[in-house]
Structures are given as structure tokens and as C-alpha cells.
Structure 1
Amino acid sequence: MYSESELAGAVEAGALTPEAAAAFRNHVAASRATPAVDEEHFRLLSGFNDIFVTIAAALILLAIGKLGGSLVAAMVGAGPEPHIIGANLIGGGAAVAATSWMLAEYFTARRRLALPSILLLLGLVGGAGATIAGLFVINIPWLETSLHITTELQRGRLAGVVAAVAGTLTALAALVHWRRFMFPITVAAGALAVVGVSVGVITSLIPAARDWVNAILLVGGLGTFVAAMRWDMSDLERRTRRADVAFWLHLAAAPLIAHPVFHMLGVFDGEIGAPMAALVFALYLFFAFVALAVDRRALLVSSLAYVLWAMYSLFHQSGAVELSAAFTGLVIGSALLSLSAFWHPMRRAAVGLLGGFARRLPPTQQGALA
């Protein structure tokens, strides 16, 4: 399967004429009875070779991380536990980050393999974050002495500052990766790093804010969703890399929005009653409306566990103890299959309720435009 961005690249390279690409899109849209944008194309594998390369790269990164950490730990010699942990983080993190970059020069820049590229991106940003964290960890005794840190509260603030600095530099590593490889998931990784930095800074400066982590994550999720929409609105027909970037941003934003909302409601604090279940269903319907309007399904997937639990609790309380799970799966599964089957007409109805704002959303008309 070829993605929209690859079709656009073929047009730019002269391998296909714009008319031929548009005719192909129209043919696919007509044969599937749905606009191309509604398919929300996502290519993770181009063949089994992607899995083969990913396994091989994972083995190499694990081995390099272990060897690099052991080498640096041996060089710095014996010392207190933070000293050894920091040395392992520095050596292993730097080795993994450097190796990930070198492998990405071939498998991401030249081969454009999606699954291995995701692993290598995680290796780069994770290795960079581990290296920065290791530099702080190895200097913890000196930092505590220099800053006169003696209480647990002060240590907690120092940990928050360390996390914020590591997250900031990790986000910068993601930015460098994006500038070099223009790989769509990189932007989402940078957005998650920014959210992590925000949580670290706020909780370190305001210790009481630790009780409001879910609210902070929700704000970060909404910000990530806005960023996703900006990328989406720059390519409404989803023919370029910008649509792929938006896809990953939506995928990152969805759990940051859904999980804090339902956790603040206390959905998993125990069996829920009918009023709470009704609220969960209402929220899920709202998420479904948003998903239909923006033509992205990530919110529905991220909040699925909560609506499953709500319906399971209702069946359980009604007396169907042994068959609660079966009834829940049947009802929710049928609803989701119906939503998938009638996605286009339901989306057309949802977008029709938005008036003039519909012009900023992906088109609902049949076929692809030239």
C-alpha cells in the first residue's frame, strides 16, 4: 500500500502526472465508497523486512547500551551508588543515541522504513534523555552540597528541575531529528517531551501541584490536539507529510486528554453507578463527535477502556454477573463496527452541524480533488 505522501512525492518527482494521481485517488475512493481522507492511512509495515530490521536494530541498541554503560562505569571506577548509576546512564544513553542516529541515516533517510524508524527515534531521544539525566545523577552529591539541599522537599524540587532540563534537551534532540529526517512521528515525540518538561517544572516549583498532575496533563493534551489540528488544517486532503505529522500528534494527544478526564472523575475507583456511567457514555459520545468532525479515530480508541468498564459495571449491577463481559463486548463491539461501516454518512452529518467551521475540516464529498 502506498501512502498519500508517497503519491505526492511521485508527482513531485515526475513519476506520475497530477492528473494520473488524482484519477487514482478518485478510483480508490469510488471503489471503497468513501473519500480518501476518511481512510486515515497509516503505514507501519511495508513488508516483513521491517519487522526483521526492527528486531535486529533492537538487539544492537540493547547490546550497545549495555557495553557503553559498562565501559564508562569501568572508566570512572568505584564510587557511591549514584556515581555508578550515572556512569551507566551516560555511557549507555550516549552509545544508544549515537548508534540510533547512524542507523537512521540509512533506514530512515534512505529506506524510509516506518517501524524501524520509530524504534530508532525512540532510541535517539531516549538515549539523549538518559545521557542528560546521567550527568545530573553522577553529580548529585556535589549538587546537594553546593545547593545546601538537606530535606526531602528540596530533593523533590531538584528532581523536578533535573527532569525538566532532561526533557527540554530531549525535545531539542527530537527537533534536530526532525530537521534532518523529517520523520512524521518526531513532532509527536517532541510534543510529549514538552508536556513532560511542563509537568516537571510545575511540580518542582509548586509541590502542591503534584495533586493536579491529571489537570496539567489534560492541558498538555489539549495543546497537543490544537497543534495536531494546525497540521491537519494545512493539508485538508491529506496528501502530504503534514497529514502524517497530524496523525501522530492526534495519537499523542488522545491519551493525554482521555485518561486525565476519566481519572479525575474516578471511573476506576470502584464499581460505578448509573449516573457516573451515563456521564462516561456522554463523554464518549462527545469524543465520537469530535472524532467524526476532525476525521481522526484516536480519541475513540484512547477512551474505549472507560466506556467498556462503565457498561460492564452496569451489566454486573443488573444481575448478569457471569455474562457481563460478554454482553459488554457484544454491545460495544457492535457499536464500533457500525460506526466504522457508516463513518462517512455520520461524519457528513456531524460536520454539517458545524456551519462555517466545516471549511477548515477535511472534505466529506465523494472522491478526491485534482
Structure 2
Amino acid sequence: MYSESDLQDAVTAGAISAQNAQALRDHVSRLRASPVVDEENFRLLTGFNDIFVAIASVILLVAVGWLGNGLRFGAAEHHPAFMSGALVAAASWGLAEYFTRQRRMALPSILLLGGFVGGVAFTLGALAAQLFPDVGDRVGSLILSGVAAMSALAAWLHWRRFMVPITVAAGAAAAAGVVAGLILAAFPGSSTLAFLLMLAGGIAIFAFAMWWDMSDRTRTTRRADVAFWLHLTAAPMIAHSLFQLLDLFDGRDISAGKAVTVIALYVAFGVIALAIDRRALMVSSLAYVFFALYALFEQAGVVGLSVAFTALVIGSALLLLSALWHNARALVVGWLPPVLADRLPPA
């Protein structure tokens, strides 16, 4: 199985002409009765060997981290916990030199990116915890900001070396953490502010994703893969923070009015998803709309089968939307002003 990135790489290398590549895309689109842009392709697996290498990499990284956690220097009673993350980061980079840079294996590359950036973040966080064991919220937020800044730098270095699409999303999330940490250090102790910062960060990453998307409207280059992971990062930040800020969920019970508000927001997310041809927002807020519909069915008296009815309604609606996605997209994009519609993927 070959992805759009593989096809574009083949064109760049001269193995296939751009005309032949486009003919192949058109042929696949006719077979699927679906344009390439609506498929939201991204590279994850090229074969079972990806899964095999990914499992082996996880086992190795866990072993390396475990060994690092048991290291002791001299006669010190306390072992340096930060060594665990440092060894995982070093091992992840070393493995990426072969499995990412040479073999171009998708799933292992994603895991190794997570191992490297996560290892760097864990190393710095553990080191800060050992050096400053008792700190307040203000200093803790500053430390968080510093760790996020170094994680963003690590992601940038990884991107410059390996060009894995998810790396940009990791760096963007870390950059949002830098800003959030600095603001929380100035105004500590506010949960509302934390959710506001998460919402602002999600919107900023969403705008960054749209910049990548608009630079490749037909989604035939690696830029579309970068945009996919950015959307996948921004969506839960926007959905979770927005629902929390609106205080729609208070404990286990939810009123009919709040449930209708949740469903209305989900419909709005659906319209945005259709316009930009990205489904991440709908997937990220699915749990909230599931709980809202469940509450409505329980209040309507369908107590024993409320979960089943909720799953039936949501599953049927999503499958129907998937089947009619192209027609629905054409309708939504047709409502938009030309100056905006011309910058979105063609409907």
C-alpha cells in the first residue's frame, strides 16, 4: 500500500512522471467514487513489518528506560531518575537513523518521535524535580514552560533531521505549553485560565494547520500529512476546553437544555469539518455528544436501552454522513464566499 507521500516522493525522484501520478490518483478516485482530498489520507502502515518493528521498538525502549531508572552513581542512595528519559531519547534517535531516515517506516517513525521528544521532556522534568523538590505553583509553571521550550527545540531538531509529519504537531503542542506555562506563572491557581489557554492554544494550532492545508489544496504532498497531525492535535484541545468552559457537564447529570447545547455545538463542529474536509473535530467531541444523547434518552424514560439507542443514533448518523460526505461538502462549501471557498480543498 502506497500513500500520497510515497507517490510524491516517486515523482520527485523521477521514478514516475507527474502526469502518470495524477492519472493514478484519478483512477483510484474513480474506483472509490471519492476524490483524493476527501479521503484524508495519511501514512501509518506500509505493511505488517511496520507493526513488527513498532512492537520491537517499544520493547527495546521500555527496557532501556528501565535500565536507566536503575542506574546509580557512586555510593549515592538516590538514583538519577532523569537518566531513564535520557537513554530513551538517545535510543529513539539512534533507531530513527535507520528505520526513519533510511527505511521510511511510518508507524515506527511516529513511536520513535514520541520516544525522543517524550524522553527529552521526562529527562528535564525529572531533573527539575530532583533539583527543586518543593516549589509553588508559580515556579512549577515556569519549570513547565522551560521543559516545554526544550521539548519544542527537540521536536525542531528531529524535524530538521527526519521530516516526520507528526513532528510539527508535537512542536506546536510544546510551543503552546511554553506560552501557557508563562501565563500561569504570572496568574497561578486558576483552572478557568488553564482551560482558556488550552482553547487559545488549540485555536492557534488549528490556524497553523489551516496554513499547511491551504498550501496544498489537493493534498498530494507531505504538507497534507503535517496538516492532518496538526488538526488531530488541535481538535481535542478545542473540544475539551470549550465544553469545560461552558460548564455543560456538572457531575453525572445533565439537563435537557445543556444536552441540546452540546448537540448544537457538535453540529457546528460538523459544518466546520465539512468545510475544511477534516474530521478530527467531530471525533474529538464524540464522547460529549454521546453523553448528551444518553442523558436525553434517560430523561425521555428509555432507561434500560439508553446506551443502545444512543449508539444506534450516533453510529447511523455518522455512517450516513460518511456516505453523503461529498454531497454535503459541496453544499457547505457552496454557501461560503468565493474568497474563502477558493482556499479550501475543492469540493
TM-score, length of structure 2 as denominator length = 0.96
> What corresponds to 1:344 in structure 2?
326
| Matching residue within 298, 301, 309 for 1:327 | 309
> What corresponds to 2:99 in structure 1?
107
Question: For structure 1, which segment, 106-115 or 343-352, has the greater mean C-alpha deviation from structure 2 after superposition?
Answer: 106-115
* 8 A contact 1:203–1:210 mirrored in 2: no
Using the alignment, how far apart are the partners of 1:193 and 1:157 within structure 2? 19
| Matching residue within 120, 125, 129 for 2:112 | 120
* 8 A contact 2:148–2:177 mirrored in 1: yes
Structure number with greater CO (CA < 8 Å, separation at least 6) is 1
| Matching residue within 231, 237, 241 for 1:260 | 241
Question: For structure 1, which segment, 204-213 or 25-34, has the greater mean C-alpha deviation from structure 2 after superposition?
Answer: 204-213
> What corresponds to 1:14 in structure 2?
14
| Partner SS, residue 74 of structure 1 | coil
Using the alignment, how far apart are the partners of 1:333 and 1:178 within structure 2? 38
Using the alignment, how far apart are the partners of 1:76 and 1:247 within structure 2? 50
Using the alignment, how far apart are the partners of 1:33 and 1:122 within structure 2? 36
> What corresponds to 2:81 in structure 1?
88
- Any unmatched runs of 5+ in structure 1? 145-153, 365-370
Q: Which amino acid aligns with 1:183?
A: V
The answer to whether 1:250 aligns with 2:231 is yes
> What corresponds to 1:282 in structure 2?
264
Using the alignment, how far apart are the partners of 1:333 and 1:66 within structure 2? 42
**1:78-129 C-alpha deviation (Å, 9 max, x unpaired):** 25xxxx4xx112x111111111000000111111111111111111011111
| Matching residue within 336, 348, 358 for 2:341 | 358
Question: For structure 1, which segment, 259-268 or 99-108, has the greater mean C-alpha deviation from structure 2 after superposition?
Answer: 259-268
> What corresponds to 1:193 in structure 2?
174
Using the alignment, how far apart are the partners of 1:52 and 1:75 within structure 2? 39
Q: How many angstroms does 1:62 deviate by?
A: 1.1
Using the alignment, how far apart are the partners of 2:280 and 2:74 within structure 1? 47
Q: Which amino acid aligns with 2:36?
A: A
> What corresponds to 1:231 in structure 2?
212
Distance 1:76 1:349, change over 3 A: farther
Using the alignment, how far apart are the partners of 2:334 and 2:231 within structure 1? 22
| Partner SS, residue 2 of structure 1 | coil
Q: How many angstroms does 1:69 deviate by?
A: 2.9
| Partner SS, residue 46 of structure 1 | coil
> What corresponds to 2:185 in structure 1?
204
Q: Which amino acid aligns with 1:325?
A: V
Using the alignment, how far apart are the partners of 1:99 and 1:208 within structure 2? 38
Question: For structure 1, which segment, 236-245 or 198-207, has the greater mean C-alpha deviation from structure 2 after superposition?
Answer: 198-207
Using the alignment, how far apart are the partners of 2:33 and 2:114 within structure 1? 37
Q: How many angstroms does 1:208 deviate by?
A: 4.0
Q: Which amino acid aligns with 1:275?
A: G
The answer to whether 1:35 aligns with 2:35 is yes
Q: How many angstroms does 1:76 deviate by?
A: 6.7
Using the alignment, how far apart are the partners of 1:334 and 1:284 within structure 2? 15
How many residues end up aligned between the 2 structures? 345
**1:224-273 C-alpha deviation (Å, 9 max, x unpaired):** 00000000000001111100000000000000000111122233323222
Q: Which amino acid aligns with 1:74?
A: F
* 8 A contact 1:280–1:307 mirrored in 2: yes
Q: Which amino acid aligns with 1:283?
A: L
* 8 A contact 2:81–2:127 mirrored in 1: no
Q: How many angstroms does 1:138 deviate by?
A: 2.6
Q: Which amino acid aligns with 2:9?
A: G
Q: How many angstroms does 1:54 deviate by?
A: 1.1
- Any unmatched runs of 5+ in structure 2? none
* 8 A contact 2:137–2:189 mirrored in 1: no
Distance 1:47 1:75, change over 3 A: farther
Q: Segments of 4+ in structure 1 off by > 4 A?
A: none
Using the alignment, how far apart are the partners of 1:353 and 1:328 within structure 2? 31
The answer to whether 1:303 aligns with 2:302 is no
Which structure is larger by alpha-carbon Rg, 1 or 2? 1
| Matching residue within 276, 286, 289 for 1:294 | 276
Question: For structure 1, which segment, 204-213 or 105-114, has the greater mean C-alpha deviation from structure 2 after superposition?
Answer: 204-213
Using the alignment, how far apart are the partners of 1:95 and 1:311 within structure 2? 47
Using the alignment, how far apart are the partners of 1:209 and 1:78 within structure 2? 38
| Partner SS, residue 207 of structure 1 | coil
> What corresponds to 2:2 in structure 1?
2
* 8 A contact 1:202–1:209 mirrored in 2: no
